[in-house]
Chains A and B, each alone.
Chain A
Amino acid sequence: MTQKIGDKMNPLSLHIDVSDFLPAEESEKQSMVVMRESVNFWKDGFRRLRKNKLAMISLTVIIVIMIFAFIVPVFYPYSYEQQIRGSENLNLMEYSKEELARKEEGEFVFPHILGTDSLGRDYAVRIMMGSRISLLVGIIASAIILLIGSIYGSISGYFGGKVDLIMMRIVDIIYTVPDILIIILLSVTLKYPLKDLAENVPGFGWINTVGVGLISIFIVFSLLYWVGMARIVRGQILTLKEQDFITAAKALGASNSRIIRKHLLTNCIGTLIVTTTLQIPSSIFTESFLSFLGLGVNAPMPSLGSLASQALGGIKSYPHRLLLPAITISLIILSFNLLGDGLRDAFDPKLKN
């Protein structure tokens, strides 16, 4: 017999391989009992998110904008405050006379891709810095809102009764305050104390760089804008706290703060992510709007809103100076909104199908 058992010599042979019917070994069996990897909340959510094309495109756009806002300016040959004499009001890809002369000599001169402004500052880097400020405002303000709103809302919802009543009436009162008015009042009244703080107390010098206006925007966000988040979190907590696992945690002897931190807030994490993501564009929008009115960042520091505002003067000659920051704002806001929607679809258990 030329054919060995368990090793077919001839691939065309129709003989049954006898070795297939030998008892399987324990180690071979083990390979079948691999337990499916346990899918947790995050993995499941991100898997859904990855299938959402619109959200993924938005995420890519946001990442690209972030690279341009945070990394590119570091390597960029021009800085946002550098005024180049003789290069004022250049158009897209235009060189000044002096730069042309240097080019003639064979020196490499980095082009002003988006031209320069009336003071001779490179417009491309100013837009990047403007986006940086806008994104920072959006993210920091949303973080402040998330922190205050979720703590306030969960305490109010969890304890209920009179605590809830009083805390929610405070929220109602804050809702009625006109926010723009408060921002204007605050930036006017905070201007001098903040300046004083920046100049006389060591360690607060950064206030001048960022601008009193921006700090007052943050203060306003932390004073006023958390109420929406607080209401959403409270609503979630109200339904969650009636769940059996909360009673079970109580019956185990868990303290109130532990129940709020560990059991309640983690269960609304989906809502928190989504609301925060949707809060970012609205914060950016508010910042741009205020900067447009001249209440935002301090002078050399650009923000997308203040860039648009400054461009108004020369709108007929240099329409791109208004269009470019406006498009960037729209792109950022649109991307964050779409990403927020995608996150909601991915993480909100009620929308699962």
Chain B
Amino acid sequence: MMSNILLDIKNLKVSFFTPAGEVKAINDVSIQMEEGDVLGIVGESGSGKSVTSYSIMGLVPFPGRIIDGTIDFNGHRINDMTEAELRSIRGNEVSIIFQDPMTSLNPVYTIGNQIREAILLHTNLNKQQAYERSVELLKLVGINEPEKRLKQYPHELSGGMRQRVMIAIALACEPKLLIADEPTTALDVTIQAQIMELMTELKNKINMSIILITHDLGIVSSVCRKIMVMYAGKIVESGTIDDIFYNPKHEYTKGLLRSIPKLNTKEHEKLVPIEGTPVDMLNPPAGCPFAPRCEKCMKICLREMPEFTKISDIHYCACWLLQKEAFEASAGGNK
């Protein structure tokens, strides 16, 4: 089955030019997505997940800049677009849902007003049609009595409801790509499940692609087909769910999986954290950024960044251990 490439990011590098120096937030990231794909990006705080998604929309916040690489989205070269051209695709072809629904809605407008704004910005509908469309959208995201809700202010809704409104706004123009930037972090677990279910359902209904950014592996496993693990602005491992969960190759991925609480643990058994702290992005090391925290760190890890090792067609991992294994295999066990 050949489907179209929707998003193609090649060797993206984004840096923040702070007074303290250049912070290399994203260092050589490549992502390819097909239409209808659901991609999960996981990693801990500060690993560059959000910046990656912002750069797809051309929204890298000041003082950040894309310094290298290309982003092709749906036939547009994002790097070369002017602000006005970017505005015409934002909210129209690519939408984003933010982490905190509490602050992502403007407190002084009714939600009806805010959904209508999204519709009126990109379509030629008149106000009446926009109203009907917003009622339809609220029904779509599972809010009952939409006509009444449209007249309410954000503070009158609960967190889950607000996130549903955010999704309704994001879906207003039926985007090709929906970026969900930790959409459930601020919500409790039952609401999380509902929101994720809703997103998968909607994805099938209107056939859009989703990039799901999160640090919660549990969420990713239920929704995504493909997962990328990011660490310190680099992709360290990528593959299908099965690859990542049952056959992790990178030490960081293994660490992440170990740190998830399990149902079958004995009482008072402690969780296994990944020791240490992430590297300082102001002075990224020459070698593998995970090396200082890695239990199996080798001398070469500190000097050079490993290349991607192809494990299967979609399972890639950047780790010297794999290179070592490959080397040993080719040497025929002759050490």
Q: Which residues of A contact B (CB under 8 A)?
A: 35, 38-41, 160-161, 243-245, 247-255, 262-263, 266-267, 269
Q: Which residues of B contact A (CB under 8 A)?
A: 57, 59, 61-62, 86-92, 95-96, 98-100, 103-110, 117-118, 121-122, 148, 151-153, 156, 166, 169
Interface contact B108-A267, CB-CB below 8 Å? yes
Inter-chain contacts of A254 with B (CB < 8 A)? 87, 117, 121
Interface contact B104-A253, CB-CB below 8 Å? no
Contact residue among A160, A247, A248, A267 (Cβ-Cβ distance under 8 Å from B107): A267
Quick one: which of A247, A249, A253 has the most chain B CB within 10 A?
Answer: A253
Inter-chain contacts of B95 with A (CB < 8 A)? 251-252
Task: Pull 22 A–B residue pairs with CB atoms less than 8 Å apart, ordered by A.
Answer: A38-B152, A38-B153, A38-B156, A160-B62, A244-B98, A244-B100, A244-B103, A245-B107, A247-B59, A247-B98, A248-B166, A248-B169, A249-B117, A253-B88, A253-B89, A253-B90, A253-B121, A254-B87, A254-B121, A263-B106, A266-B106, A266-B108
A40 vs B155: C-alpha distance when bound (angstroms): 10
Contact residue among A35, A248, A253 (Cβ-Cβ distance under 8 Å from B98): A248
Interface contact B91-A251, CB-CB below 8 Å? yes
A160 vs B61: C-alpha distance when bound (angstroms): 12
Interface contact A245-B91, CB-CB below 8 Å? no
Inter-chain contacts of A35 with B (CB < 8 A)? 148
Inter-chain contacts of B148 with A (CB < 8 A)? 35
Chain A nearest CB, measured from B165 CB (Å): 11
Chain A nearest CB, measured from B239 CB (Å): 29
Q: Which residue of B lies closest to A266 (CB)?
A: B108
Interface contact B103-A245, CB-CB below 8 Å? yes
Interface contact B151-A251, CB-CB below 8 Å? no
Contact residue among B62, B91, B99 (Cβ-Cβ distance under 8 Å from A252): B91
Contact residue among B96, B99, B105, B108 (Cβ-Cβ distance under 8 Å from A251): B96
Q: Which residue of A lies closest to B63 (CB)?
A: A161
Given contact pairs A250-B90, A252-B117, A253-B92, enumerate 11 new A-B contacts (beta carbons under 8 Å). A35-B148, A38-B151, A39-B153, A244-B99, A244-B103, A247-B61, A249-B117, A251-B91, A251-B96, A252-B118, A254-B87
Interface contact A253-B87, CB-CB below 8 Å? yes
Interface contact B104-A244, CB-CB below 8 Å? yes
Inter-chain contacts of B57 with A (CB < 8 A)? 251
Chain A nearest CB, measured from B130 CB (Å): 14
Contact residue among A41, A252, A263 (Cβ-Cβ distance under 8 Å from B90): A252
Inter-chain contacts of B117 with A (CB < 8 A)? 249, 252, 254, 262
Contact residue among B92, B99, B106 (Cβ-Cβ distance under 8 Å from A245): B106
Inter-chain contacts of A267 with B (CB < 8 A)? 106-108
Chain B nearest CB, measured from A283 CB (Å): 28
A234 vs B109: C-alpha distance when bound (angstroms): 22
Interface contact B59-A253, CB-CB below 8 Å? no
A68 vs B122: C-alpha distance when bound (angstroms): 52
Inter-chain contacts of A161 with B (CB < 8 A)? 62
A160 vs B107: C-alpha distance when bound (angstroms): 23
Given contacts A248-B104, A252-B117, A266-B108, contact A40 B153 (CB under 8 A): yes
Chain A nearest CB, measured from B69 CB (Å): 21
Chain B nearest CB, measured from A256 CB (Å): 8
Interface contact A245-B90, CB-CB below 8 Å? no
Chain A nearest CB, measured from B31 CB (Å): 19
Inter-chain contacts of B88 with A (CB < 8 A)? 253
Inter-chain contacts of B166 with A (CB < 8 A)? 248
Inter-chain contacts of B92 with A (CB < 8 A)? 253
A353 vs B77: C-alpha distance when bound (angstroms): 50
A73 vs B90: C-alpha distance when bound (angstroms): 58
A247 vs B152: C-alpha distance when bound (angstroms): 22
A248 vs B169: C-alpha distance when bound (angstroms): 10
A41 vs B110: C-alpha distance when bound (angstroms): 11
Q: Which residue of B lies closest to A36 (CB)?
A: B156
Interface contact A245-B153, CB-CB below 8 Å? no
Q: Which residue of B lies closest to A42 (CB)?
A: B108
Interface contact B90-A251, CB-CB below 8 Å? yes
Given contacts A250-B90, A252-B91, A255-B87, contact A245 B105 (CB under 8 A): yes
Chain A nearest CB, measured from B167 CB (Å): 12
Chain B nearest CB, measured from A240 CB (Å): 10
Q: Which residue of A lies closest to B118 (CB)?
A: A252
Inter-chain contacts of B109 with A (CB < 8 A)? 266
A260 vs B21: C-alpha distance when bound (angstroms): 31
A121 vs B122: C-alpha distance when bound (angstroms): 65
Inter-chain contacts of A244 with B (CB < 8 A)? 98-100, 103-104
Chain A nearest CB, measured from B99 CB (Å): 8
A267 vs B92: C-alpha distance when bound (angstroms): 26
Interface contact A253-B107, CB-CB below 8 Å? no
Inter-chain contacts of B62 with A (CB < 8 A)? 160-161
